[in-house]
A and B are shown apart, each in its own frame.
Chain A
Amino acid sequence: MDKPVYLETKDLVVGYDNVPLLTGVNIQLHAGEIMTLIGPNGAGKSTILKSIVGYLESLGGAVYISGRPVKELTAHELSLELSVMLTERMRTELLTCADIVETGRFPYTGRLGILSDEDRVKVREAMDMVHVWDLRDRDFMQISDGQRQRIMLARAIAQEPRIIMLDEPTNYLDIHYQIELLNVLRRLVHTRDVAVIMSLHELPLARKVSNYVMCIKGDGVVAAGSPEEIFTPAIIDELYDLEPGTFDPVSGNIELEEL
């Protein structure tokens, strides 16, 4: 692959309060790639994502964004490289959906954060892409969780980063919007050569959308590779502690216990 590497980690150690949770995390994410982290609840997928962007102090190893150590980037430089969509619920007051998406343009505005016409066009593009333009004048607190999630995606897109990081982006979304969200991501990757790194719970979705899958469990990465390599019964059963035969990672078919 000769596309540039946008995100790279070398022997990253992550954890809380100086207690390592995962060690030896090596990620290499190229332009135009979608990488998905999968693994059981609490395995540390979000912890890895948060450590990459420095919300959590990493306990060892290094993170490089477009070849530069992330620690050397200023907050502003990082904001031009990477945008995020998080799972934390927000509480805003009297802000419309357009207001929220507009904040995605802040890295490009002057001191007071006043958007230019060009910025507004970008905001509109991003909102059209996620099909939320109709929500623009609605209060962000008075729409559904799923709608909020899509607004936050539009915000991340409006920021025009090279890398988009999403922490469990399909939370709160019904299957229709889950599929739509992944389609949007694929279109982004295809048209803008963006790199996407995200954590996902839905295995069938992860299998379809990813170029590269990383399995997180215990104290590190237990497997990594293309979806074809990862979505085999052996690896998935091991990763999620499943009885053999209860879940078929290719078809998504589930077998329940006999009563």
Chain B
Amino acid sequence: MQRQNEIDEAFGRSVRHRRVTIVFSTLAVLLVLLGGLNLCIGSLNVPLSELLPILTGQGVESTNYQVIWNIRLPRLIAAAVLGGALALAGFLLQTFFNNPIAGPFILGISSGAKLVVALVMIVVVGGSGVMTSGMMIVSAFVGSLIAMLFVLLVSRRINSMSMLIVAGVMIGYICSAATDFLITFASDANIVNLKNWSLGSFSGSNWNDVGIMVVVVILASAAVFCLSKPISAFQLGEQYARSMGVNIRAFRIALIVLSSLLAATVTAFAGPISFVGIAVPHIIKRALGTSKPLVVIPGAFFGGAIFCLFCDLIARSVFAPTEVSISAVTAIFGAPIVISILLKREKARR
């Protein structure tokens, strides 16, 4: 035991452990707090005293019960799960490109997903079919993979971090423009649906969707967590990762597929959402004081959940009853963080 303590001390591990514990406790408190606020606040305010009975299944007949169980709870879970997925997708892309401002939205991956979903929606719904959530995810996944492949092609030819981002933004613009074209030509019935969704929102989440997204996101996130070791090795660069026994080809494919799948699931259910993928991993790394995937991956997931709960609360309550698009809110809080990252890097270079 004495020896163990010595080793711990020597590695400054106990200090680190304490920091990790503090950060995760804070995240847990924030998650519960924001979860409660999200359930209570709205056009119909539910008093806190009623919340617990309702959640434990009492007062089935009351309006409050209906509002909580049919509208707010599924929306809350959707925001939390998809927020976590976005943050993880961002973390994976940052690792992959060794670029702190990479993320699914800024690299055009979300917009690629949006384009293919819009396309499939118009074809399917136009043919008077119904778009299932499974189809949404698959088409979003195809779209994000295509956009990802474009980004990869570009990244092979250029070595500069900023150019990669510019290329990603351009891909995003192209996809968004193409989506707008599609919307213009879509029939009236589709337009309403598409327009709302393409702006980004957690509204309209139902239990069926929530079930699917929870399964997909949890599985993908667990897979990401299992990649902690190769991700950690990859942080030293591709060649060192190889020398530590990482099968680099398989690892790259896993990163591409997982980040695309996570980003696609978000886009399928909530439309494209900006900046969460960049801002959250950044904050979490600073808070934890390390970029070790073993703690950053769970941290980023919970951080993303909290960030999206917070933004969703603002999106639907600030101008109530009108809802602001979620992406507008995340951009207001996320974009300054990106700017601060850029400024810090510039300072570090000098």
Interface set of A (CB-CB < 8 Å, partner B): 53-55, 74-80, 82-84, 86, 88, 90-96, 98-100, 103-104, 106-107, 109, 111-114, 117, 120-121, 124, 136-137, 141, 159
Which residues of B in the span 87-104 have a Cβ within 8 Å of any Cβ on A? 98, 100
Given A103-B232, A106-B232, A117-B4, are A93 and B285 neighbors across the interface (CB < 8 Å)? yes
A105 to chain B, nearest CB (A): 9
Contact between chains at A114 and B294 (CB < 8 Å):
yes
With A113-B232, A117-B7, A120-B7 already in contact, the answer to whether A106 and B242 are too (CB < 8 A) is no
User: How far does the Cβ of A121 sit from chain B's closest Cβ, in whole Å?
Assistant: 7
Least CB distance, A225 to chain B, in whole angstroms: 29
Task: Give 19 CB contacts A-B under 8 Å.
Answer: A53-B243, A55-B239, A74-B245, A75-B245, A75-B247, A77-B245, A80-B245, A84-B239, A90-B236, A90-B240, A95-B290, A95-B292, A98-B11, A98-B12, A106-B244, A112-B226, A112-B229, A136-B10, A159-B244
Chain B, Cβ-Cβ closest to A53: B243
Give the complex CA separation of A137 and B15 in angstroms: 11
**With A53-B243, A103-B244 as given contacts, are A92 and B229 in contact (CB-CB < 8 Å)?**
no
Once the chains are docked, how many angstroms separate the CA of A158 from the CA of B316? Answer: 54
Contact A113 B228 (CB under 8 A): yes
* Cross-chain contact of A75 among B3, B232, B242, B294 (Cβ < 8 A): B242
Nearest-CB residue, chain B, relative to A110: B229
Q: Mark B1-41, 1 if CB is under 8 A from A, else 0.
A: 00110010011100000000000000000000000000000
Best-buried of A75, A104, A111, A117 by chain B (most CB within 10 Å): A75
Tell me which of B12, B100, B291 contacts A136 (CB under 8 A).
B12
Taking the closest CB of chain B, its distance from the CB of A161, in whole angstroms, is 9
Q: Which residues of A contact B317 (CB under 8 A)?
A: none
Q: Is B233 an interface residue (CB 8 A)?
A: yes
Given the complex of chains A and B, what is the CA–CA distance between A75 and B4 in angstroms?
Answer: 32
The residue of chain B having its C-beta at the shortest distance from the C-beta of A137 within the complex is: B12
> Which listed residue (B10, B286, B290, B294) contacts A112, Cβ 8 A?
B294
Q: Which residue of A lies closest to B251 (CB)?
A: A75
How many positions in chain B have a CB within 8 Å of any CB in the partner chain? 34
A94, B285: Cβ atoms under 8 Å? yes
Q: Kindly list chain B residues whose C-beta atoms are within 8 Å of the C-beta of A92.
A: 235-236, 291
Known: A94-B285, A113-B294. Is A107-B245 also a contact (CB below 8 A)?
Answer: yes
B53 at the interface (CB under 8 A from A): no
Give Cα distance in the complex from A214 to B199, angstroms. 64
Residues in B with CB closer than 8 Å to A82 are 243
- The answer on a CB contact under 8 Å between A103 and B7 is no
Which residues of A sit under 8 angstroms from B239, Cβ to Cβ? 55, 84, 86, 88
**If A103-B240, A111-B226 touch, does A94 touch B7 (CB 8 Å cutoff)?**
no
Chain A: CB-nearest residue to B4: A117
Are A106 and B245 also in contact (CB < 8 A) when A84-B239, A88-B237, A90-B237 are? yes
Residues of B within 8 A of A55 (CB): 239, 242
Closest A residue to B288 using CB positions: A94
Which B residues are CB-close (under 8 A) to A120? Answer: 7, 11
Tell me if B98 and A91 are in contact (CB < 8 A): yes
- B residues 215-249 near A (Cβ < 8 Å) are 225-226, 228-229, 232-233, 235-237, 239-240, 242-248
Give CA–CA (A137, B100) in the complex, Å: 23
> CB-CB < 8 A to B290: which residues of A?
94-96, 99
A204 CA to B215 CA in the complex, in Å? 63
* Cα of A104 to Cα of B245 in the assembled complex, Å: 10
In Å, the complex CA distance between A96 and B242 comes to: 21
Docked-complex contact A53 and B242, CB < 8 angstroms: yes
B235 and A95 contact, CB distance less than 8 A: yes
Given contacts A106-B229, A106-B232, contact A74 B98 (CB under 8 A): no
| Least distance between B321 CB and chain A CB atoms (Å) | 43
Instruction: Report the bound CA distance from A79 to B241 in whole Å.
Output: 10
B134 on the A face (CB < 8 A):
no
Assembled-state Cα–Cα distance A179/B339 (Å): 44
Instruction: Enumerate the 8 nearest inter-chain pairs by beta-carbon distance, A residue then B residue, closest first.
Output: A113-B229, A79-B245, A76-B245, A84-B243, A106-B244, A94-B291, A93-B291, A75-B247
The answer to whether B240 and A86 touch across the interface, beta carbons within 8 angstroms, is yes
Which A-chain residue is minimally distant from B289 (CB atoms)? A94
- Which B residues are CB-close (under 8 A) to A88? 237, 239
Most buried by B among A106, A120, A136: A106
How long is the Cα–Cα vector from A90 to B98 in the complex, in angstroms? Answer: 10
Q: Quick one: given A91-B98, A93-B100, A94-B290, are A75 and B246 in contact (CB under 8 Å)?
A: yes
Contacts of A93 in B (CB 8 A): 100, 235, 285, 291
CA A103 to CA B243, docked complex, whole Å: 11
Contact with A along B285-312 (1 / 0, CB 8 A): 1100111101000000000000000000
Q: Convert B180-212 into 0s and 1s, putting 1 for each residue whose CB lies closer than 8 angstroms to a CB of A.
A: 000000000000000000000000000000000
**Chain B residues, Cβ within 8 Å of A124:** 7, 10
Q: With contacts A79-B245, A103-B240 known, what are 4 further pairs, Cβ within 8 A? A: A55-B239, A86-B239, A88-B237, A93-B291
Tell me, in angstroms, the Cα distance from A106 to B87 when the chains sit together.
26
B148 to chain A, nearest CB (A): 22
